[in-house]
Chains A and B, each alone.
Chain A
Amino acid sequence: MNAPLSDEAIREQIFAIVARQSGVDPAALRPEATLKDLGVASLDAIELIFDLEEHFDITFPDDRADFDTDTMQQLVDAVHSALAARPDGTEAAA
């Protein structure tokens, strides 16, 4: 994960991870769809968040409870801000 990723690559990877978890064809994923819409709720949503954290080596802030209502676009934004908060990986332990 050392080489900087293009926005497009990040987006594609997130969509691929969500597609795997939800069983929905990546081509059919809309930015405005929520995880709940995609049938990813409760612990499945928490597991998806874990998959994203592991994949991008990031840590999402702990102050949000309902990932189920996140849209695809919000997830992409959240990954971007978590990547930005991780200049050298030290944020992960904070």
Chain B
Amino acid sequence: MNPARRRIAITGMGAISAYGEGAGPLWRGMRDGVSAIRPLRHPFASQVRVKVAAQVPEGADAAKQLPESVLSLLDRSSRFALLAAGEAIAQAGLDFAADGLAGRTAVVIGTGVGGEGTHDEQARRLYAENATRLHPLTIVRMMPNAPAAQISMAHGLRGPAFGVVGACASSNHALAQAALLIRAGMADVAIAGGTESCLSFSSLRAWEAMRVLSDDTCRPFSRNRRGLVLGEGAGVFVLEAMEHAQARGAAPLAELAGVGMSADAGDIAAPDPAGASAAMTQAMADAGLAAGEIDYVNAHGTGTRANDRSETQAIHRAFGTHARRLLVSSTKSMHGHALGASGALELVAVLGALVEGVVPPTLNLDEADPECDLDYVPDIARECAVRAALSNSFAFGGLNAVLALKRA
């Protein structure tokens, strides 16, 4: 690690999830071990095999909080991103109008598929209702860069702005790109995270066909695990050059100390522990952290047979004997797998653990699996003065992105 390199503070966070609006309810839900997985709420629920999901509750209506003038421009995924960004920016207390900061602020938002709801709805008009015209805002709603564009427009941010796609690792890839922009001196502040809302009929059918969905709940690392539970939501953070945060007296939630990214370059779906461990090792090296300094790993932990076995092997490989001393938990057992937003929701868990000294648990770990032999913090949160933590995200395509966080 280059000592002259800029350090990155996280000075704001916002989220919308199956717990509703706000990073607070999401963190408290995870910390208290309360699952937000519910019966699937969907017009086609009776036709699909999937029975459960972690959906943003109906009461959390983004439409009430966003100006009517922009609502017609927004897919559900952009609404989520705008709400989360607004919360994060308010917490950070930044004044973009001062000192040309707007021009020095980047926006980088990850998403797995972008405006899937919009696409599905318009496809239905076209193919099922034989409509001859589609909504004129279809393109600007569904493009995967829309969430980043909408945030830049809402807050007048004129620095680098773009979307990042990396399937289930999109959020972590986006946060990494944002951190690298700040390090490179291309921006002083970055609004970064991920958003996803893709529980359309066609998407549910597609996931069903892949046979990776659990029919009842998500049981990461448990021998009787049966697959993942789909979720949705958004998490957005304010990343800020440490010296910029210090100069204005802002109190960081944590330091984003390092990032690691790798590709398995093997199977399109089956994970390879070598790729995942390479990303973890790189994140620690980038952060200048030794394996023994990490106290907590927020696992990718999807609850599929393949991921949880492979991720356990990868953690052994990256941490050696220290693996047995780590606390490892999968909060997907509570907020579901929000795909392109999952790394961002999980960063809320990591920030909570660093700030409060409490590691959120893995729920539903009801049968030990000899192939998953780490301390997964079953059922109940664990008090631990977490010094540093990793947050793992691994995507289909074999694309891995890991963040290393340090207590501020």
Q: Which residues of chain A have a CB within 8 Å of any CB of chain B?
A: 41-43, 46, 49-50, 62-63, 65-67, 93
Complex contact A42–B267 (CB within 8 A): yes
Chain B residues whose CB sits within 8 angstroms of the CB of A42 once the complex forms: 267, 269-270, 306
Complex contact B211–A63 (CB within 8 A): no
Complex contact A41–B227 (CB within 8 A): no
Complex contact A49–B211 (CB within 8 A): yes
The distance from the CB of B209 to the nearest CB of chain A, in whole angstroms, is 6
Chain B residues whose CB sits within 8 angstroms of the CB of A43 once the complex forms: 210, 267-270
Q: Which are the 9 A-B pairs with shortest beta-carbon distances?
A: A42-B270, A43-B269, A65-B305, A62-B49, A46-B211, A42-B267, A42-B269, A62-B215, A46-B210
- Interface residues in B, total, Cβ within 8 A: 16
Complex contact B211–A41 (CB within 8 A): no
Q: Can you give 19 contacting A-B residue pairs, CB < 8 Å?
A: A42-B267, A42-B269, A42-B306, A43-B267, A43-B268, A43-B269, A43-B270, A46-B210, A46-B211, A49-B211, A50-B209, A62-B49, A62-B211, A62-B215, A63-B215, A65-B211, A65-B227, A65-B304, A67-B211
Interface-centre pick from A42, A49, A93 (highest chain B CB count, 10 A): A42
- In the bound complex, CA of A43 to CA of B396 (Å): 11
The distance from the CB of A44 to the nearest CB of chain B, in whole angstroms, is 9
Chain A residues whose CB sits within 8 angstroms of the CB of B209 once the complex forms: 46, 50
Chain B window 29-68, contacts with chain A (Cβ cutoff 8 Å), 1 for yes, 0 for no: 0000000000000000001010000000000000000000
Chain A residues whose CB sits within 8 angstroms of the CB of B304 once the complex forms: 65
Chain A residues whose CB sits within 8 angstroms of the CB of B305 once the complex forms: 65-66
Complex contact B270–A41 (CB within 8 A): yes
Chain B residues whose CB sits within 8 angstroms of the CB of A49 once the complex forms: 211
- In the bound complex, CA of A49 to CA of B226 (Å): 18
Interface residue ranges of B204-233 to A (CB < 8 Å): 208-211, 215, 226-227
Kindly identify which residue among A41, A50, A65, A67 contacts B226, using a CB–CB cutoff of 8 Å. Answer: A65
- In the bound complex, CA of A45 to CA of B306 (Å): 14
The distance from the CB of B47 to the nearest CB of chain A, in whole angstroms, is 7
- In the bound complex, CA of A49 to CA of B304 (Å): 18
- In the bound complex, CA of A41 to CA of B270 (Å): 9
- In the bound complex, CA of A93 to CA of B47 (Å): 7
- In the bound complex, CA of A50 to CA of B205 (Å): 13
- In the bound complex, CA of A14 to CA of B283 (Å): 47
- In the bound complex, CA of A48 to CA of B304 (Å): 20
The distance from the CB of B92 to the nearest CB of chain A, in whole angstroms, is 42
Name the residue of chain A whose CB is nearest to the CB of B270. Answer: A42
Chain B window 304-330, contacts with chain A (Cβ cutoff 8 Å), 1 for yes, 0 for no: 111000000000000000000000000
Interface-centre pick from B209, B215, B227 (highest chain A CB count, 10 A): B209
Chain B residues whose CB sits within 8 angstroms of the CB of A46 once the complex forms: 209-211
The distance from the CB of A11 to the nearest CB of chain B, in whole angstroms, is 24
